[in-house]
C-alpha cells in the first residue's frame, strides 16, 4: 500500500524536528523452561495464564507470525489482541499494545475493553434506545443512561469459537442470539485476522442476521509505539485524514451534526504531537475528557485495495509508524483519558495516565437515532462487511 508522497514528506520532516522521550529499551523476555511455551516466541506472556474456561467454553492462546518476525498473540476471550511485537528502526522488537499478564485481569471491569472486539454496537447509543420501523428496542445501559460498546456483556466479554487457519491467520465466530443485550435478531458473526508479509494486521468483519438489527463492530487495542509501558503518548505524531469531526455533549452523545476541524484542537490534517493541543480550553475536550471523538474520514487517498487512509501515527525516537486504512466512514481517536497508574500491566509494570491511544474504525456513534448519519441497519439477506488494516513501518 502507498500513501501520498506529500503525507510521508510532511510526517518525516516533523519527526526530525520534534524532541522525544528517552529511548525505551527493548524488553527481552525471560527464558521459559516450561515445555508448554515455545522458546521462539517474542511475547513475555505465559500461555498457561490464558488457559481455562468461562461459562463452560475453553479459552485458548493463539500466535500469528509473519516472515519478517512480527508476532501477534490472541485469546478467544473477546478476540483480544494480547501482544503485538514489531521492530523499531534498529531492528529491535517490542510489544506495542497495552494489556495484562493473565486472563483473570481481562475479566475485571478495568480490563474489559483492552485489545477486544467491540459489538454489537461500538461507541454509544443514547439512552440505549432505538427504533426499527414501528418497533422500539431497549438495550442494556452501562454508561450512565446510555448504551456503550455492546452493553454489560458485549462481544468483548464472551468466548468465541476459534479456527487458526495458518501461522498467519485466525478466524473467530459465534452467533449472538436474539435479545442478547436487548438487540433483535440472531446475528452470525465472523472476524478474520491476518498478519501479512507486508507487516499489516488485516481485520475483516462479516455478519448476517435473521431479523433487522443494527451492527457496528470495531477493534479496541490501546497502542503505544514506543512500547506498551513506555510512558505517555503525548509526543506520538498523529495525522488524521479528516476535514470534519463529530462534536459530542457532556455524556459523549453526538449532537447530530458535523463540524470542521479547521482552527480547532481537532485539526490533525498535518501531523502533530498528540499532546500539543490536548490541554487547550475547548468545550469538546472538556466533554470528552480529552480526545474521544469520531473523525469523518476523507475519501482520498486510498490504498491499492481501495481502502481509505484514515490515520498515520509515528513515534519519533523508535521510528515506528502505523498506518490505518478502512472502508468505514469514521475513526474514533481516544487519547487514553482514563488509563491510570492503578492499572498493572504485563510483567507487573504499572501503566500511566494517557499511556496508550486507540484508533477505532467504525460507523458513527448513535447512528440509529441520527437520521443524518450513515445507516448501521442490517437486514435479513444482507451481509455486513467491515475492513480495517493496521500497517507497521519504520522511519529511519
| 3-state SS, residue 201 | strand
How many C-beta neighbours within 10 Å does residue 262 have? 10
**DSSP alpha helices (H): ranges in 225-383?**
283-287
d(CA 167, CA 66) in angstroms, rounded, equals: 8
360 counts as catalytic: yes
- Per DSSP, helices labelled H in the chain are 5-17, 103-107, 283-287
Please give the Cα distance from 142 to 330 (Å, whole number). 23
Look at the chain and count its residues.
396
- Peptide bond preceding 120 in cis form (omega within 30 of 0): yes
∠ CA 143-148-154 to the nearest 5 degrees?
Answer: 120
238: enclosing H helix or E strand: strand 237-240
Across the beta sheet with 292-297, what order do the strands follow?
A: 259-260, 242-245, 292-297, 330-334, 358-362
| DSSP per position, 300-337 | -SB-TTSPEEEEEEE-TTT-EEEEEEESSSEEEEE--T
Neighbours of 191 (CB within 10 A): 22
User: Who's near 59: CB < 8 A, 6+ residues apart?
Assistant: 50, 51, 52, 53, 75, 76, 77, 103, 159
**Which member of 147, 149, 220, 293 is catalytic?**
220
Of 149, 293, 360, 363, which is the active-site residue? 360
Supply 229's cell numbers. Answer: 509501558
Residue 323: closest CA among 254, 228, 247, 388? 388
Contact 125, 118 (CB under 8 A): no
**Catalytic site residues?**
220, 360
Amino acid at each position: 500500500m502507498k500513501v501520498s508522497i506529500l503525507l510521508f514528506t510532511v510526517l518525516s520532516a516533523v519527526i526530525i524536528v520534534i524532541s522525544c522521550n528517552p529511548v525505551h529499551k527493548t524488553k527481552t523476555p525471560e527464558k521459559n523452561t516450561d515445555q508448554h511455551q515455545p522458546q521462539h516466541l517474542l511475547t513475555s506472556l505465559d500461555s498457561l495464564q490464558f488457559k481455562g474456561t468461562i461459562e463452560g467454553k475453553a479459552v485458548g492462546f493463539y500466535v500469528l507470525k509473519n516472515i519478517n518476525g512480527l508476532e501477534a498473540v490472541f485469546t478467544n476471550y473477546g478476540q483480544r489482541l494480547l501482544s503485538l511485537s514489531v521492530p523499531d528502526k534498529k531492528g529491535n522488537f517490542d510489544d506495542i499494545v497495552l494489556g495484562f499478564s493473565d486472563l483473570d485481569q481481562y475479566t475485571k471491569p478495568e480490563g474489559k475493553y483492552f485489545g477486544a472486539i467491540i459489538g454489537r454496537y461500538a461507541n454509544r447509543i443514547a439512552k440505549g434506545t432505538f427504533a426499527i420501523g414501528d418497533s422500539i428496542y431497549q438495550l442494556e445501559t452501562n454508561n450512565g443512561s446510555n448504551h456503550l460498546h455492546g452493553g454489560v456483556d458485549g462481544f468483548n466479554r464472551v468466548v468465541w469459537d476459534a479456527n487458526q487457519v495458518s501461522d498467519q491467520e485466525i478466524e473467530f465466530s459465534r452467533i449472538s442470539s436474539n435479545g442478547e443485550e436487548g438487540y433483535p435478531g440472531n446475528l452470525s458473526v465472523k472476524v478474520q485476522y491476518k498478519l501479512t508479509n507486508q507487516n499489516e494486521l488485516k481485520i475483516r468483519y462479516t455478519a448476517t442476521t435473521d431479523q433487522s438489527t443494527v451492527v457496528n463492530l470495531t477493534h479496541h487495542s490501546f497502542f503505544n509505539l514506543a512500547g506498551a509501558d513506555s510512558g505517555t503518548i503525548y509526543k506520538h505524531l498523529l495525522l488524521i485524514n479528516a476535514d470534519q469531526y463529530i462534536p459530542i455533549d457532556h455524556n459523549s452523545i453526538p449532537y447530530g451534526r458535523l463540524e470542521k476541524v479547521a482552527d480547532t484542537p481537532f485539526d490533525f490534517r498535518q501531523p502533530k504531537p498528540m499532546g500539543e493541543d490536548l490541554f487547550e480550553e475547548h468545550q469538546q475536550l472538556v466533554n470528552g475528557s480529552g480526545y474521544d471523538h469520531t473523525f469523518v474520514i476523507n475519501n482520498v487517498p486510498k490504498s491499492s485495495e481501495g481502502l481509505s487512509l484514515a490515520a498515520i501515527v509515528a513515534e519519533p525516537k523508535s521510528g515506528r509508524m502505523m498506518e490505518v486504512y478502512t472502508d468505514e466512514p469514521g475513526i474514533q481517536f481516544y487519547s487514553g483519558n482514563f488509563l491510570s497508574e492503578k492499572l498493572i500491566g504485563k510483567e507487573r509494570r504499572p501503566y500511566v495516565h494517557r499511556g496508550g491511544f486507540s484508533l477505532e474504525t467504525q460507523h458513527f456513534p448513535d447512528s440509529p437515532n441520527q437520521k443524518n448519519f450513515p445507516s448501521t441497519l442490517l437486514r435479513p439477506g444482507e451481509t455486513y462487511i467491515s475492513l480495517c488494516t493496521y500497517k507497521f513501518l519504520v522511519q529511519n
